[in-house]
Amino acid sequence: MMRQYELVERVLAYNPGADEALLNRAYVYAMKKHGTQTRDSGDLYFAHPLEVAAILTEMKLDDATIAGALLHDTIEDTDATREEIEELFGPQIAEVVDGVTKIEQLNLVTREEAQAENLRKLLLAISQDVRVLIVKLADRLHNMRTIEYVPEEKRRRIAQETMDIYAPLAGRMGMQDMRSELEDISFGVLQPDHYAIITSRLKHMEDENRGAIETISSELTQKLATAGIAAQVSARLKNPWSIFKKIEQRDIALEQLSDIIGFRVIVENEDDCYRTLGVVHSNWKMVPGRFKDYISLPKYNDYRSIHTTIVGPANQRAELQIRTRQMHSIAEYGVAGHALYKDNVQGSFKKLEKENQAYNWLRQTIEHLTKGEETDEFLEYTKLELFQDQVFCFSPQGRLIALPRGATPIDFAYAVHTDIGDTCTGAKINGVISPLVSRLRNGDEVEIIRDSNHTPSPHWVNIAITGKARSAIRRAVRIEELKRARTLGKQVLGTLLQREGIEDEETGAKKLAVLAGFKSVDDLIEAIGSGQIQAENLDEHVEKLTGKRRSMFRRKKITLPVAQEADGWFSLRDNSNFKFRIPGGQRLGAKGKAALSRLGFNTPVHISPEGVVPGDRMVGILDTEGVLSIFPIHSDALESLYNKDVAWIDVLWDARHAHNNMFNVSVSMLAANKPGMLANATATIASCDANIHNLVLRMISPEFHQLIFQLEVRDLVQLTEALSTLKYSDGLSKVRRSSIEEARAISRIDWQNHNEES
């Protein structure tokens, strides 16, 4: 365990003006308060806050933050109080300790309602002083480093919480080294088999390429020195979790990744970064499409560096990161490396937002949660924002807009301004009119086409990928639905009052609202228009209002459109696996409107040949003949349907009927053309308890076959397990769910003919 003087010396080494007396008081106070408390490992508990403080000294943080780290568990685990800490150490340190204590009491892996509320509290605590987050992340890092001593059931919960919340938060704050270590340890806990396979293969690849690594390092250092550039060159392999994610995202084998070996070049200034790039590209071939200039266009978390990939000795690809020492400090420590925190200045919310883009994201998120968004929407918004990677696009005026990878023109429009998103009707990408479902790429110029009378379509929620866009779309759709409900309700109520011979409609409506238990006429109108109450259910109240029994009223029921039924969701049939909701704003002709009015009453339902399983997000496409076709949200068929005269219907699984059933879904993969590969694939599928319903084998080249399986699975969890297991089977690569063309090849029913016959 680190001694008192050793900790103080660590701080003085980078901050000679540190308050030694403060550090000594905090050390002694925390040690006395924790006393003989022990951890799961059997070590004295005080060793934990001491190690947390040591982690923060590596980041060269101010003495107030180090003192807060020493004291961070005293309020929660001892008889210390905030008042006592404030009296002894001042309000800043007390605020940090109190903020960390509040975070400790939150359970961030729980049912969604509680998780969302706890996430709100977490972000609010951080917003008061960013050092609360820094101390908490260091606390979590040390806990993860010693997680092997924690009981297994608790270990998995902590690892999942770390992977879902704390690692992404560290990334969002620019603390990449901490994020990587948190992710790797969590990965090892949550998926030990995959972790073991990847680390073993990485070790083998490191040994195999050691010569190439040493050659590139030596040659690069020598050539830079010849060019008069003082540089520090280091090499490393990518961390296991980042490798695993790339294998998942790209559907390729580990050996096919081009950037497993990475080199970091640290130079003195920005000019040297670009001079180094010139030296590199002059001596080695660069890989096209693998150059990124994050100095000119920094990432959302202030990360700045130049990335390029070269073809080195023995055709070995290697990624290079070129940056200055200051850039490197921010790349490693993010907000913790910011100069604001090296002068013992309180990390106030307002001051930091002007200095740091990473913390500016937190300000925007705090603004979002204070708008009182619904629980599920806030949770979705925050998680989407935490996990994004970026592309950079431009407006016609040259304004730079940073968006998550995979963003669409809809996301771009809402990123510019909510009003632009709400009135968006189309987009030009690089001068060419393009569908709103198009995925934007780095450098695209996006022009939004607008119509002031237009409102967002509800199915945009399935196209947009940013939390801001989805939230704004849902809000606009709710407003439109409310307007329609009010218009419809007003018409229905007016018709009802006229039919009953009530001449003073205003007075009659007020009295009827009171009799029906509503606070106002507007509330009654909204209830009627939204289907919460049917007009015929007002019978007894009308009779009380008029003093007469009106049998004619009972015979002339006012029937509302199907879309206005209670809650908006319906089962298609008693034996259906689906529920549906009809969004507003559909672009249909007379036939389509007629089909829309019949939806829900023996509607023919067809499933896309790719298959859908419980857990999938789905879209229903209703054609003018009244046939509803269900597609998974990833289906490539949806893009071709965007401008067709069809209605996009929200579809959910009906849990009453989906339980314990088996569902067909198509998957595709490449297999090396060698004996036993088909047997290997089928055995792997069987090991996941999935059944093979059908199989198509195509020869792609003499070296590879394409295997297309139609599997029977219970749900998305089982399907994901099967896909993940297949990806790590030797000789298999590009494992993914099939495209619609591939699925048609294996389906025993021709999809187009099936639709035509219907």
Q: Which CATH number fits the domain that encloses residue 27?
A: 1.10.3210.10
Of the three residues 288, 303, 336, the one that is the final residue of a domain is 336
| Structure tokens, 664 | 């067909």
- Largest interatomic CA distance in the chain: 104
- Verify that 16 and 95 share a domain, yes or no: yes
Place of tokens 């016959």: 757
- Verify that 119 and 180 share a domain, yes or no: yes
| Arithmetic mean of pLDDT over the chain | 77
CA separation, residue 677 to residues 165, 311, 671, 703, 729 (Å): 39, 31, 7, 12, 10
Task: Return the CATH number at 687.
Answer: 3.30.70.260
- Verify that 185 and 199 share a domain, yes or no: no
- Verify that 12 and 156 share a domain, yes or no: yes
- Verify that 613 and 746 share a domain, yes or no: no
- Verify that 247 and 201 share a domain, yes or no: yes
User: pTM score > 0.75 for this model?
Assistant: no
Query: What size, in residues, is the chain?
Result: 758
Element housing 129 (H / E): none
Mean pLDDT of 368-383: 51
- Verify that 22 and 92 share a domain, yes or no: yes
Q: What percentage of the chain exceeds 70 in pLDDT?
A: 74
- Verify that 52 and 178 share a domain, yes or no: yes
- Verify that 705 and 625 share a domain, yes or no: no
| pLDDT attached to residue 463 | 85
> If you write DSSP's letter for every residue of 660-722 in order, what string do you get?
T--EEEEEEEEEESSTTHHHHHHHHHHHTT-EEEEEEEEE-SSSEEEEEEEEEESSHHHHHHH
- Verify that 243 and 266 share a domain, yes or no: yes
- pLDDT of 380 higher than 60: no
- Verify that 41 and 165 share a domain, yes or no: yes
Which residue out of 20, 40, 58, 76 is catalytically annotated? 76
Which residue out of 77, 84, 219, 539 is catalytically annotated? 77
Q: Cα–Cα distance between 210 and 204 in angstroms, integer?
A: 10
Mean pLDDT of 640-656: 72
What backbone torsions phi and psi does residue 704 show, to the nearest 5 degrees?
A: -135, 145
- pLDDT of 359 higher than 90: no
- pLDDT of 739 higher than 60: yes
Those residues with Cβ within 8 angstroms of residue 418's Cβ, 6 or more apart along the chain or in another chain: 472
| pLDDT attached to residue 550 | 47
Mean pLDDT of 612-632: 82
Give the N- to C-terminal CA distance of the chain in Å, as an integer.
76
| pLDDT category of residue 393 using cuts at 50, 70 and 90 | confident
Those residues with Cβ within 8 angstroms of residue 294's Cβ, 6 or more apart along the chain or in another chain: 303, 304, 305, 306, 307
Element housing 186 (H / E): helix 176-190
| pLDDT attached to residue 549 | 54
| pLDDT attached to residue 382 | 54
Q: Cα–Cα distance between 574 and 501 in angstroms, integer?
A: 41
Segment of 18-32, 116-130, 156-170, 702-716 carrying the highest mean pLDDT: 18-32
Q: Is residue 441 part of a domain?
A: no
| pLDDT attached to residue 705 | 84
- pLDDT of 722 higher than 50: yes
- pLDDT of 387 higher than 80: no
| Structural domain boundaries, residue 690 | 663-757
Let me know if 367 is a catalytic residue. no
Measure the CA angle with vertex 105, ends 101 and 106; round to 5°: 120
Of the three residues 336, 371, 398, the one that is the final residue of a domain is 336
Position with higher pLDDT, 374 vs 136: 136
Q: Cα–Cα distance between 516 and 534 in angstroms, integer?
A: 12
Let me know if 385 is a catalytic residue. no
Beta bridge partners of 317: 311
| pLDDT category of residue 400 using cuts at 50, 70 and 90 | confident
Position with higher pLDDT, 482 vs 307: 307
Q: Is residue 440 part of a domain?
A: no
| pLDDT attached to residue 660 | 63
| pLDDT category of residue 189 using cuts at 50, 70 and 90 | very high
Query: Looking at the 3D structure of the chain, how many domains does it have?
Result: 5
Q: What is the dihedral of CA 267, 273, 275, 277, to 10 degrees?
A: 110
Q: Cα–Cα distance between 430 and 433 in angstroms, integer?
A: 8
Q: Please write the tens of the pLDDT for every residue from 497-538.
A: 776 677 677 787 888 888 878 888 888 888 777 666 765 567
Mean pLDDT of 292-299: 86
Mean pLDDT of 645-649: 76
Q: Is residue 69 part of a domain?
A: yes
Mean pLDDT of 248-273: 78
Q: Cα–Cα distance between 372 and 374 in angstroms, integer?
A: 6
Q: Is residue 365 part of a domain?
A: no
Of the three residues 534, 560, 586, the one that is the final residue of a domain is 560
Mean pLDDT of 311-324: 83
